[in-house]
Amino acid sequence: MAQTPAELTLDIEPSARVDLIDVSERIEEEAPGFLDTYAKTTYTSYHTTAGYFEQVFAKRLGNDPKALEAYLGSFSGLFPEGAGYSHDNMSLRDELTDDQKLVEPRNADSHLMYIGSGLENTVTYHNAAKSPVYFVDLDGVYGRNHRKRRTTALGYNRDEIVDRFTLEIPVSEHPIDSINLWDPSMGLFDRLHELIRIHGLDRGRIDIALDPSERNTGLTVNEYETMLMRHDLAEVLKDPIRFMAQRGRNMLRDPGAIKEKAKDYAKYDLVRLVNRFIDKVGLSESIVERIIDKFVQVPAQRFLRMKRGVSLVVDGSQDDKPSRIIAGTYQSPILVQWRRAERGARKICVTYTRYV
């Protein structure tokens, strides 16, 4: 008899700021045989600094947590913790109350690592015996507080496409820009939910992908916060290497801001090399920056693993509520561009898939 798709939600408490938790072990503990019952599982994270790598990428690194941590470590050189980000300057965060500013995590580096390293809010894995599935948390501990995290696993055996269409998303004339696809003025959120109702989608997935013709743009799911998107991320996209060198200088001016783990990760990265070069030969920072611009500049699309598509899970398991896209409070699909769009718009392809 065919098995009806089913979901399991896990509560997770990370033990370190950067932590990899094997959710396949947790699933087996809480629902023995769940992963053996289904051919595939879609995993979704409700957080903007914690998610999953694609199965192909995780396999490429041997599903080895040490290899995955080393990969993430390379991005901590680009986005050092406590390096003077606009997002972390609470005096600029007008959307927060005074009380919220006292407890709001200063975690811009975690958001930028999430976006840049290619982590995703939702991924689909082919189930395999004894193959780990890592929930990757980049901000699991803040001060003395361990975060409370949540993830849902949706198991199924077959799927079918029920709708597919293309939309144009208007973008500004600015070469570097980020667009919140959940902005109410765009109407996309309401339209997607209306189509869920029309198609009677109970359990499934909505994939949003860039049209193959689109270049110099990417998609992510993250927090659409002004300081993070309009300032910190924009600086990265303008010039990743220069951003890293500048953040490195800021940290060296305040050595207390460099945590021990960040010191280990940054030991041999470009930040240290550039700053040691400045100190030894006495060149001005502007001269070194021009050298970097001329010889070492790396395009954003090569330096960052920006995704060309994102997925959203549809769940209708609650009898008293209509089917809906399940997501965390601060999650929004975001379109990011680092070159001006030719037509003042970007094409995206939307696909509805039903799990059966």
Cα–Cα distance between 214 and 345 in angstroms, integer? 10
Specify whether 143 is located in the same domain as 192.
Answer: yes
Specify whether 164 is located in the same domain as 289.
Answer: no
Q: Contact at 8 Å (CB) between 170 and 163?
A: no
Q: List, for residues 40-60, the tens digit of each pLDDT value.
A: 999 999 999 999 999 999 999
Quick one: DSSP state of residue 99? H
Cα–Cα distance between 266 and 258 in angstroms, integer? 10
Query: Does residue 1 fall inside a structural domain?
Result: no
Cα–Cα distance between 313 and 194 in angstroms, integer? 15
From 296, 312, 330, give the residue that closes a domain: 296
Q: Contact at 8 Å (CB) between 104 and 93?
A: yes
Full domain range(s) for residue 285: 240-296
Specify whether 193 is located in the same domain as 254.
Answer: no
Q: List, for residues 298-352, the tens digit of each pLDDT value.
A: 445 555 677 899 999 999 877 778 999 999 999 999 999 988 898 899 999 999 9
Specify whether 110 is located in the same domain as 171.
Answer: yes
Specify whether 38 is located in the same domain as 173.
Answer: yes
Specify whether 258 is located in the same domain as 307.
Answer: no
From 296, 312, 344, give the residue that closes a domain: 296
Query: Does residue 220 fall inside a structural domain?
Result: yes
Structural domain total, the chain: 2
From 251, 272, 296, give the residue that closes a domain: 296
Cα–Cα distance between 160 and 175 in angstroms, integer? 38
Cα–Cα distance between 338 and 216 in angstroms, integer? 6
Specify whether 167 is located in the same domain as 268.
Answer: no
Return the CATH number at 223.
2.60.120.460
Quick one: DSSP state of residue 4? P
Q: Would you say how long the chain is, in residues? A: 356
pLDDT confidence of residue 65 = 93
Specify whether 292 is located in the same domain as 323.
Answer: no
Q: Which two tokens stand for residue 157?
A: 């055996």
Specify whether 351 is located in the same domain as 279.
Answer: no
What is the value of pTM for the model shown? 0.82
CA nearest to 200, candidates 40, 39, 355: 355
**3-class SS of residue 286:** helix
Specify whether 15 is located in the same domain as 117.
Answer: yes
Cα–Cα distance between 61 and 37 in angstroms, integer? 27
Query: Does residue 163 fall inside a structural domain?
Result: yes
pLDDT tier for residue 91 given thresholds of 50, 70 and 90 = very high
